[in-house]
Amino acid sequence: MCRSALSFFALIDYYQYYFLFESITLDTISLIQPDDWHAHLRDGLALQRTVPDLAKQFARAICMPNLVPPVKTVEEALAYRQRILAHVPEGLDFDPRMVLYFTDQTSPQEISKIKDSEFVDAIKLYPAGATTNSANGVSDIRKVYAVIEQLEKHQVPLLLHGEVTHQHVDIFDREKRFLDEVLAPLLKQFPQLRLVLEHITTSEAAHFVLEHDRHVAATITPQHLLFNRNDLLVGGVKPHFYCLPILKRLNHQQTLLEVATSGNPKFFLGTDSAPHAQNAKENACGCAGCYSAPNAIELYAQAFDQVGKIDRLEGFASHFGADFYGLPRNTKQITLVKQPQTIVESLDYLEDQKIIPLHAGQTLSWRKV
Ligand code: DOR
Ligand code: ZN
């Protein structure tokens, strides 16, 4: 090979090395303040913990309605929103976005009230018995098709906990079965329905979303990007990794990482952060839910950085959810620096209880400043 050809290739090598090196050494990033499109804040004293934890990072959060009793009407949602706002720390702007809880009794008229509401954005469907506080959920989706028709007509998003609940269906197959048996027929009947498949956990769900048009989106939690079922089960049962839908195999985790970091606007941030007291998790019948709120954006940064895609975090965390909901993007910025920080072992909760946060005691490589 002649000398000039050799130096040409050396130059290419240099640039490849330079760009690789650049992407590896990115150690400060600024992004538009993120939003959490799926969070559980609960009510009463729990709000003292959950609202400040979320509001320190996020500008807005969808506040899930699975209270006891659930938030079933626009009026109840607005009252709940006021209780949340009362706990926002001084100096922070936080805009709680509200969602109704779909029951067998939800009236079609409630949907036009959502449409007209400034603060209520969607309705959440839990198949009855699927997860925490879902006993009042929908018993059979075909029974509520009249309400879904209104959702499609008014373009109000339907948020789905996508798992079937039949006793005989294996817990690891419940999401896939939901896609085949509930969601595919639903979209055939209502092709213009806007929907968010919440906290997806399988490559089948990711592909389902990819294969449908822009009306179909999904949220992804930090635990499903960072962990898989080995983290939950190998070497002893780790109840703080137990959430629903349950963590799946490594190959599913990898697909979720691929789609979350792909820049595809159908996938956006939704932590599913849910506060459960330590004694309710470390229990012979432990509750489902991971509490990620205090470090959520840093957990996502860790996941994106691990696959060399930290530059894709802003779209996922700060743009795509707002775009899907037709809300303006935030304008403030936050900064993350690549500096180790250790997640606290426990947090105070209610009067004398503790919460063990997701990944407690472990070191993250990113920190919000
Ligand atoms: O793990 C979960 N916890 N999944 C859910 O769907 C609900 C949540 C909760 O409310 O605790
Ligand atoms: Zn949830």
DSSP 145-208: HHHHHHHHHHTPPEEE------TTS-GGGHHHHHIIIIIHHHHHH-TT--EEE-S--SHHHHHH
Q: Is the CB of 42 under 6 A from ligand 1?
A: no
For a pocket test of ligand 1, which of 41, 66, 136, 232 has the largest count of ligand atoms closer than 8 A to its C-beta? 66
Alpha-carbon gap, residue 284 to 237, rounded angstroms: 11
What is the bridge-based pairing of β-strands 120-125 and 333-337? Answer: unpaired
Residue 335 corresponds to which tokens in the numbers above? 């900064």
Protein residues within 5 Å, CB atom, of ion ligand 2:
272
- 170 is an active site residue: no
Taking the C-alpha atoms of residue 264 and residue 260, their distance in angstroms, rounded to an integer, is 7
198 Cα nearest atom in ligand 1: 6
User: Taking the CB of residue 217, how many other CB atoms lie within 10 A of it?
Assistant: 27
Helix (H) or strand (E) holding 46: helix 46-55
Q: Count CA atoms closer than 13 A to 288's CA, side-chain side.
A: 13
Q: Would you state the pLDDT for residue 25? A: 53
Atom of ligand 1 lying closest to residue 290 CA:
1
Q: Of all atoms in ligand 1, which is nearest to the CA of residue 133?
A: 10
Q: Is the Cβ atom of 66 under 6 angstroms away from ligand 1?
A: yes
The reply to whether ligand 1 has any atom less than 6 angstroms from the CB of 39 is: no
Angle (nearest 5°) at CA 326 between 124 and 262: 85
pTM score of the predicted model: 0.93
CATH fold of 29-368: TIM Barrel (3.20.20)
Question: Which residues on neighbouring strands pair with residue 36, listed in sequence order?
Answer: 61
| Å from CA of 6 to ligand 2 middle | 57
Please state whether 299 falls in left (phi above 0), alpha (psi between -120 and 50) or beta. alpha
Q: What share of the chain is helix, strand, coil (3-state, %, to 5)?
A: 40, 15, 40
**Residue-range domain boundaries for the chain:** 29-368
Q: String of b and e for 248-260 (b: at least 16 CB within 10 Å)? A: beeebbebbbebb
Which one from 180, 272, 323, 348 is the annotated catalytic residue?
272
Compute, in angstroms, the gap from residue 66 CA to the centroid of ligand 1.
9
**Which of 96, 108, 207, 94 lies closest to 156, judged by CA?**
108
Predicted confidence at residue 189, as pLDDT, reads 96
The torsion angles phi and psi of 268, rounded to 5 degrees, stand at: -145, 175
Distances (CA, A) of 83 to 41, 77, 139: 11, 10, 30
Please state the residue numbers annotated as binding site for substrate.
40-42, 66, 161, 244, 276, 288
**Do 279 and 166 meet the contact criterion of CB atoms below 8 Å apart?**
no
* Token representation of residue 61: 């959060």
327 lines ligand 1 (CB under 6 A): no
- The H-or-E segment that residue 267 falls in is strand 267-269
For ligand 1, atom 2, the nearest C-alpha belongs to: 289
Kindly give the parts of the chain with pLDDT less than 50: 1-24
Closest-CA residue, ligand 1 atom 8, reads 289
Angle at 254 between CA 249 and CA 260, to 5 degrees: 125
Q: Which residues are annotated as a binding site for Zn(2+)?
A: 38, 40, 124, 161, 199, 272
